[in-house]
Amino acid sequence: DAMVIQNPRYQVTQFGKPVTLSCSQTLNHNVMYWYQQKSSQAPKLLFHYYDKDFNNEADTPDNFQSRRPNTSFCFLDIRSPGLGDAAMYLCATSEDSGGYTYEQYFGPGTRLTVT
């Protein structure tokens, strides 16, 4: 089945220690998104890639970076995690075709704990 895969599902890191979360997709979609979701809140968009073009949300902290080396993979790097960065991180993909963007498909998420 075509899908969005996130690894690991659970990640524990120490305060200030860089961490990388990964996302891969077999849908061959050209748009990939990273969301942060804190407990009992809606997902908050951090940034998205349209093909290789990176688009940052205005309120995304500089502490969060992303890389997309190819169509299938996208990484979220948190350079110096703080306690406030503990959250579920969701990756999503969609296909933009002819100016129309279809619905987003989400991965299962990575729950990040910062100790």
Partner 1 sequence: GDSVTQMEGPVTLSEEAFLTINCTYTATGYPSLFWYVQYPGEGLQLLLKATKADDKGSNKGFEATYRKETTSFHLEKGSVQVSDSAVYFCALSSDSWGKLQFGAGTQVVVTP
**Alpha-carbon gap, residue 108 to 35, rounded angstroms:** 12
Q: Name the residues that contact partner 1, by CB under 8 A.
A: 4, 6, 31, 40-43, 45, 48, 50, 55, 90, 92, 94, 96, 99, 101-109, 111
In sequence order, the β-bridge partners of residue 54 are: 49
* Minimum distance from residue 3 beta carbon to partner 1 (Å): 11
DSSP category for residue 72? S
**Alpha-carbon gap, residue 42 to 46, rounded angstroms:** 13
Q: Which is nearer to partner 1, 9 or 79 (CB)?
A: 9
Q: Which is nearer to partner 1, 69 or 98 (CB)?
A: 98
* Minimum distance from residue 16 beta carbon to partner 1 (Å): 27
* Minimum distance from residue 2 beta carbon to partner 1 (Å): 14
Residue 41 tokens, joined: 């809140």
- Residues 74 and 64 sit within 8 Å (Cβ to Cβ): no
